[in-house]
Amino acid sequence: MVSEGGDKTGSYGKIAKTESVSIVSAAISCDAEFLQYMSSLKWEGYVHSIFDRTVNLHSRTNDEFYTIANRQVDNAPNTLITDRDGFANQGLAVGDRVYVEHDRLYVGKAFVLTLRDVRVWRSKLPSYPDDEGNLRSNAAAAASFIEIYGKGSGIKRTSERANAMDQEMGRLLTERSNGLLRALSMGEASLASHYAIQLMGLGPGLTPSGDDFLVGLFAVINLADGPLQPFRPMCEQVAAASADRSNPISGMALKKAAAGQVRESIGDFMHHMIHGSKTEVIRSLSRVLDIGSTSGTDIALGLVKGLKLSLDKKWEV
């Protein structure tokens, strides 16, 4: 029997000796939890989707989704960065078996990644500051930069929406994101959860605009000692609902953000917002805005609006 992953041995034990891998590449860095799973368990799964800069994997070991990325992508939860330039037209196919054996990650018959000298990366968010002066100034600068340089058609409204469907999508994104922020400002966790769940899956792309906005907002909620910390249970509740409302890749990003785990560029931006100069803020914000098509702008808006909400603390009045 041929398995979903293409293994002709009839099981997921040892790979048939007739299989071969054409390219050997090095893993540069890897999320700590992903690496631990690969090191301590007989990790295996299959290729879920293939893009030029990334390959998404579905693990049969723990039913989570993981990403192999090229050297241009920043570190992120459940992600392994390689020295490869790209993955399109490299002999990979959806359903190819992926497994770990002897410090190597085998990806179909296309290539194998050596894990022995990989650098371990851990997602880290800063703590909320005791003195909010620098954050307040940087939040205003970041909001202005997004208004000028952020990409429209997602959470950021634009007058260039091409058709009635896009206009309606924009209206819903604005209505639900504003409703979420308003509910948080009143301390209404249940109402906030309602609006957040309604945002999930809303918008085009592999990671819809509503999901991206939530990723940014969840990062702020998870700042240690931050004013929004009481809403952490809401994040977990919303992420748990993503299986029915969004795609698996976006849902995994939401799940990780709900636990305070976000990609490196987001963590760097948050650090500079709290501790850095305006120059550092704009430099790191530009990296966030470069994520995907409109994803970076949607994430950045979730971050900045969440930080401004933290500064206002209206629910405590």
Within a domain: 224: yes
- Contact 24/106 with Cβ under 8 angstroms? no
pLDDT value of residue 167: 84
- Its pTM stands at 0.90
pLDDT band at 13 (very low <50, low <70, confident <90, very high): very low
pLDDT at residue 317 is higher than 90: no
What number of other Cβ atoms are within 10 A of residue 93's Cβ? 12
pLDDT value of residue 4: 25
- Give me the CATH number covering residue 35: 2.40.50
Q: Are residues 192 and 311 located together in one domain of the fold?
A: yes
What CA–CA distance (Å, rounded) separates 34 from 241?
23
Within a domain: 16: no
Which whole number is the average pLDDT over 104-115? Answer: 93
pLDDT band at 165 (very low <50, low <70, confident <90, very high): confident
Q: Are residues 114 and 169 located together in one domain of the fold?
A: no
Q: Are residues 57 and 105 located together in one domain of the fold?
A: yes
Within a domain: 233: yes
Quick one: which of 103, 125, 136, 128 has its CA closest to 24? 103
Within a domain: 3: no
> Which structure tokens are listed for 157?
């409204």
Q: Are residues 179 and 297 located together in one domain of the fold?
A: yes
> Which structure tokens are listed for 235?
């994040």
Range of the domain at 61: 23-121
Within a domain: 252: yes
* pLDDT tens-digit map of 245-289: 889 999 999 999 999 999 999 999 999 999 999 999 999 999 999
Which whole number is the average pLDDT over 60-75? Answer: 95
Q: In which residue are the tokens 């770990």 written?
A: 100
> Which structure tokens are listed for 161?
């929406």
What CA–CA distance (Å, rounded) separates 111 from 90?
9
Within a domain: 187: yes
What CA–CA distance (Å, rounded) separates 38 from 104?
9
Q: Are residues 41 and 148 located together in one domain of the fold?
A: no
- Which of 70, 99, 121 represents a domain boundary (last residue)? 121
Which whole number is the average pLDDT over 165-188? Answer: 93
Average pLDDT, the chain: 89
What number of other Cβ atoms are within 10 A of residue 206's Cβ? 17
Q: Are residues 59 and 193 located together in one domain of the fold?
A: no
pLDDT at residue 1 is higher than 90: no
Q: In which residue are the tokens 């819809």 written?
A: 208
pLDDT band at 240 (very low <50, low <70, confident <90, very high): very high
Within a domain: 8: no
> Burial of 263 by CB count in 10 Å (0-12 exposed, 13-18 middle, 19+ buried)?
buried
Helices (H) and strands (E) in the chain, counts: 10, 9
Q: Are residues 112 and 147 located together in one domain of the fold?
A: no
- Which of 121, 145, 180 represents a domain boundary (last residue)? 121
Give the bridge partners for 80, in sequence order.
30, 68
- Which of 89, 121, 153 represents a domain boundary (last residue)? 121
Q: Are residues 104 and 140 located together in one domain of the fold?
A: no
Q: Are residues 144 and 242 located together in one domain of the fold?
A: yes
CA 180 to chain centre: 20
Q: Are residues 144 and 109 located together in one domain of the fold?
A: no
DSSP string, 259-272: TT---HHHHHHHHH
Which whole number is the average pLDDT over 158-181? Answer: 85
Q: What total of structural domains would you count in the chain? A: 2
Q: Are residues 117 and 147 located together in one domain of the fold?
A: no
Within a domain: 128: no
Q: Are residues 104 and 253 located together in one domain of the fold?
A: no
What CA–CA distance (Å, rounded) separates 305 from 317?
19
